[in-house]
Amino acid sequence: MENIYLTIALAPLLGAIIAGFFGGMLGRTATHTITILGVLVSTVLALYVFNHHVLEQGAVFNQNLYTWMQIGSLNVSVGFLVDNLTSVMLVVVSFVSLMVHIYTIGYMHDDDGYTKFFSYISLFTFSMFMLVMSNNFMQLFFGWEAVGLVSYLLIGFWHHKESAVEANLKAFLVNRVGDFGFLLGIGLVLAFSGSLDYMEVFSTLDKVVGQSLWGADLITVICLLLFVGAMGKSAQVPLHVWLPGSMEGPTPISALIHAATMVTAGIFMVSRMSPMFELSDVALTVVMVIGAITALFMGLLGIVQNDIKKVVAYSTLSQLGYMTVALGVSAYSVAIFHLMTHAFFKALLFLGAGSVIVAMHHEQDIRKMGGLRKKMPITYWTGLIGTLALIGFPGFAGFYSKDMIIEAVHFSSLPYAGWVYYAVVAGVFITAFYSLRMFFIVFHGESRVDHHTEEHLHESPASITFPLIALAIPSAIIGYLTIDPMLFNGWLDNAITVDAAHKSMAEIGQLFSHHGGALGMISHAVFTVPFWMMVGGIVTAWIFSLYRTQWAAWVQSKFQGINYILESLYGFDRFNEIVFVNGVKKLGNLLWKVSDAGLIDKMVVNGSARLVGFIGSVVRPIQTGYVYHYAFFMIFSLLIILTWALFAGDNPLLQIEF
């Protein structure tokens, strides 16, 4: 088995190396064939692993394959921990990556950096595999950093565009802030448990419980620091500012990295650390509240966006907030479930947006689109399926996962759970509103497309539409198929620990069986509040984008203040710029002028020279050049020696009694 895991991880790496170094020589066709082959091998093997572990209940695989270093009693190695959670993540990541690889053939067709792109996305796939399969914190951090690095490379892929370069720097730096907290958390884990291996840490958790660090409960501090890392990677408020900027990268990577896989690494990490998070109610509350803030407020921002990719980006932020809320109420399997469904339909939506962009010759403003339904049927229908999944239309994948999250929050007993419940329910309305707004403006209504582009408008080639169809299928049905086994029949049991006091999972399990399973949920849906929220969102979007578009402009002019706040993205970017960027610049200036130039240069370096000069100038006049001065000093010293020899010392020459 261990060879299979190694192959899963290393096949994309091999593809990346070959594409990266020999891509120019091999040419485009050979490069994309090799890399797709690599990811295809990983996908097939991932499905096999899934079958073995989850469906056949294979044993958990936890082994160190290579000892990287041994420092005293600390052993840091490369090892794999493959259980059901890992298997689910492997399937999701490999499948989405394969779809994106195929999609890239069509999307990056005209680009010069074709082979480089394939190399990067294969490299990303490798890093993501290492992250999810790791069995210790160090390898997790390696994968963490590696995906951050590849994200940086890919966001700035078109490096001659200045906005892209700024965006990739921003992404990397904000991620760094998260990583800083993450590292502190790992450091604390190491300090108090003495090991970096997951299983060893979890088994010594009872030692850590109850200890306090500078007045705060230790396990809370550790969990909060680890969550800071998740905040950076999964773009929770306030470390979310990088995700909209990351849309500067090509659409395939927006789909792969910033929708389906990298941003879910934080969610995965918290689920993996569920034994630790369960011990701290404070940490769970913080997780839940931050997730709710992200879900609600980022959704609001999606309403006023005019760039097709930005709408989907804010949608991603909002959905990540939902996943985080699920983590906060100890419904870890629900969070993973939503992660899985979200990966499928969000990748689908991004790839669909990319299809529209390619057809519109890289025009991204939705106000210049309209009525594309007739010209791009496949994109239209797959886009519809994705949108319905996103808004939680009964029966589609998103419906099950989102509903479960809302119910889980409803049953949670954490503080502020009430407010969070209202936030996520309102979020359903907002999600439906912005999704359908975008959908109607782009695909329905009169065409506002510029004349020249309209002549060339046609459906995208097969390499683009095939992934769309392939992703639409799970978006539609996977929720129905997997909700029962994953959430309530213990698919993830051997990976996730839930404390008995957090009874959300148990309650929604009861609710689920009460309503008669997955099928029953559909028919029951009409009686739930979220359903009517969704309907309200759809109707409002229809009114404002198709029925009476002039009302939208009227509302905007009436609520100018709110409009301003939303369009300036709540001022996070301004705040960061003023406080952090300018602050650091000022600090740098201060340190330069005062400390470096003033203190060190003037006082220490020049000062010591001046001191030597000063002492020299004091001592120099002693040498007058006159012989009689010298003679006088000699005589005077002679007198002193004489006196000393005569009267003082151990053996004075004169013994005088006074």
Partner 1 sequence: MTFDQILFYVFSFWFIASSLAMIFSRNAAKAVLFLILSFFSAASIWILLEAEFLAITLILVYVGAVMVLFLFVIKMLNIDKSTLRAKFAGYLPLGLIVAAIIIAEMTLVLGGNQFGLDVVAAPARHGADYSNITVLAMQLYTTYVYPFELAAVLLLIAIIAAITLVHRNELNRKKQSIAEQVNVQAKDRVRIVSIASSGKEAK
Partner 2 sequence: MVSLSDYLILSAIIFCIGLVGIFVNRTNIITLLMCVELILVAVNTNFIAFSHFLGNEAGQIFVFFILTVAAAEVAIGLAILTLLFRNKGSINVDVTNSLKG
With CB under 5 to 8 Å by kind, the binding choice for 73 among partner 1, partner 2, none is none
622 in contact with partner 2 (CB under 8 A): yes
Q: Which of 579, 594, 635, 646 binds partner 2 (CB under 8 A)?
A: 635
Q: Which position has the token pair 């969000």?
A: 346
Q: Which does 642 bind (CB under 5 to 8 A by kind): partner 1, partner 2, none?
A: partner 1
- Closer residue to partner 2, CB minimum distance, 519 or 639: 639
Answer yes or no whether residue 649 interacts with partner 2 by CB under 8 A.
no
Give 422 or 632: the residue with its C-beta nearer to partner 1.
Answer: 632
AA letter at 528: T
By CB under 8 A, residue 625 contacts partner 2: yes
If one asks whether residue 624 binds partner 2 (CB under 8 A), the answer comes out as yes
Q: Helix H segments across 360-396? A: 377-391
CB 471 within 8 A of CB 382: yes
**614 near partner 2, rule: CB under 8 A:** no
Minimum CB distance to partner 2, residue 609 (Å): 19
If one asks whether residue 623 binds partner 2 (CB under 8 A), the answer comes out as: yes
Q: How far apart are CA 570 and CA 341, in angstroms?
A: 29
Q: Which helix (H) or strand (E) holds 194?
A: none
The residues binding partner 1 (CB under 8 A) are: 628, 632, 635-636, 638-639, 642-643, 646, 653-654
The region of 80-88, 98-106, 454-462, 622-630 touching partner 2 under the rule CB under 8 A is: 622-630
**Token representation of residue 140:** 């997790």
Q: 626 touches which of partner 2, partner 1, none (CB within 5 to 8 A by kind)?
A: partner 2
Question: Could you say whether residue 643 binds partner 2 (CB under 8 A)?
Answer: no
Peptide bond preceding 252 in cis form (omega within 30 of 0): no
Helix axes 397-411, 417-443, angle to 10 degrees: 160
Using the CB atoms, write b or e for 408-437: b if 16+ within 10 Å: bbbbbebeebeebbebbbbbbbbbbbbbbb
Q: At what angle do helices 504-515 and 517-524 cross, to 10 degrees?
A: 80
Please name which of 365, 561, 379, 339 lies closest in space to residue 459, comparing C-alpha atoms.
Answer: 379
Binding mask 433-472 for partner 2 (x = CB under 8 A): ----------------------------------------
Contacts of 550-556 with C-beta under 8 Å, sequence gap 24+, read none
Closest approach, Cβ 634 to partner 2, in A, equals: 9
> C-beta of 629: minimal distance to partner 2 in Å?
7
From 25, 71, 627, 648, residue interacting with partner 2 (rule: CB under 8 A): 627
609 CB-contact burial (10 Å; exposed 0-12 / middle 13-18 / buried 19+): exposed
The interface mask with partner 2, positions 77-116, x = CB under 8 A, is: ----------------------------------------
Which range binds partner 2 by CB under 8 A, 8-16, 561-569, 592-600, 621-629? 621-629
Instruction: Choose from partner 2, partner 1, none: what does 641 bind? Cβ within 5-8 Å by kind.
Output: none
State in angstroms the smallest separation of the CB of 634 from partner 1: 11
Task: Please say whether the beta carbons of 464 and 355 come within 8 A.
Answer: yes
| 561 vs 625 by CB, closer to partner 2 | 625
Give yes or no for residue 656 binding partner 2 (CB under 8 A): no
Q: How far is the C-alpha of 404 from the C-alpha of 398, rounded, in Å?
A: 10
CA 337-244-283 angle, 5° bins: 50
d(CA 416, CA 425): 14
Nearer to partner 1, 603 or 641 (CB): 641
Question: Which stretch, 82-90, 131-139, 174-182, 628-636, contacts partner 2 (CB under 8 A)?
Answer: 628-636
- Binding partner of residue 643 among partner 2, partner 1, none, CB cut-off 5 to 8 Å per kind: partner 1
φ, ψ of residue 655 to 5 degrees: the values are -100, 105
Contact 154, 249 (CB under 8 A): yes
424 half-sphere exposure, CB direction, 13 A CA radius? 31
Cα–Cα distance measured from residue 84 to residue 263, given in angstroms and rounded to the nearest whole number: 20
Closest CB to partner 1 among 628 and 658?
A: 628
Helix axes 332-359, 504-515, angle to 10 degrees: 70
Q: Which option in partner 2, partner 1, none does residue 646 bind, with CB closer than 5 to 8 A by kind?
A: partner 1
What residue 620 binds from partner 2, partner 1, none (CB within 5 to 8 A, per partner kind)?
partner 2
Q: How far is CA 24 from CA 13, 118, 119, 155, in A?
A: 18, 12, 11, 22
For partner 2, the closer CB: 25 or 622: 622
CB of residue 613 vs partner 2: minimum separation in angstroms?
Answer: 14
Which residue, 462 or 638, has its beta carbon nearer to partner 1? Answer: 638
Does residue 618 touch partner 2 according to CB under 8 A?
A: no
The DSSP element (H or E) to which 589 belongs, if any, is helix 582-590
Which residues in this chain contact partner 2 in the complex, by CB under 8 A? 620-629, 631-632, 635
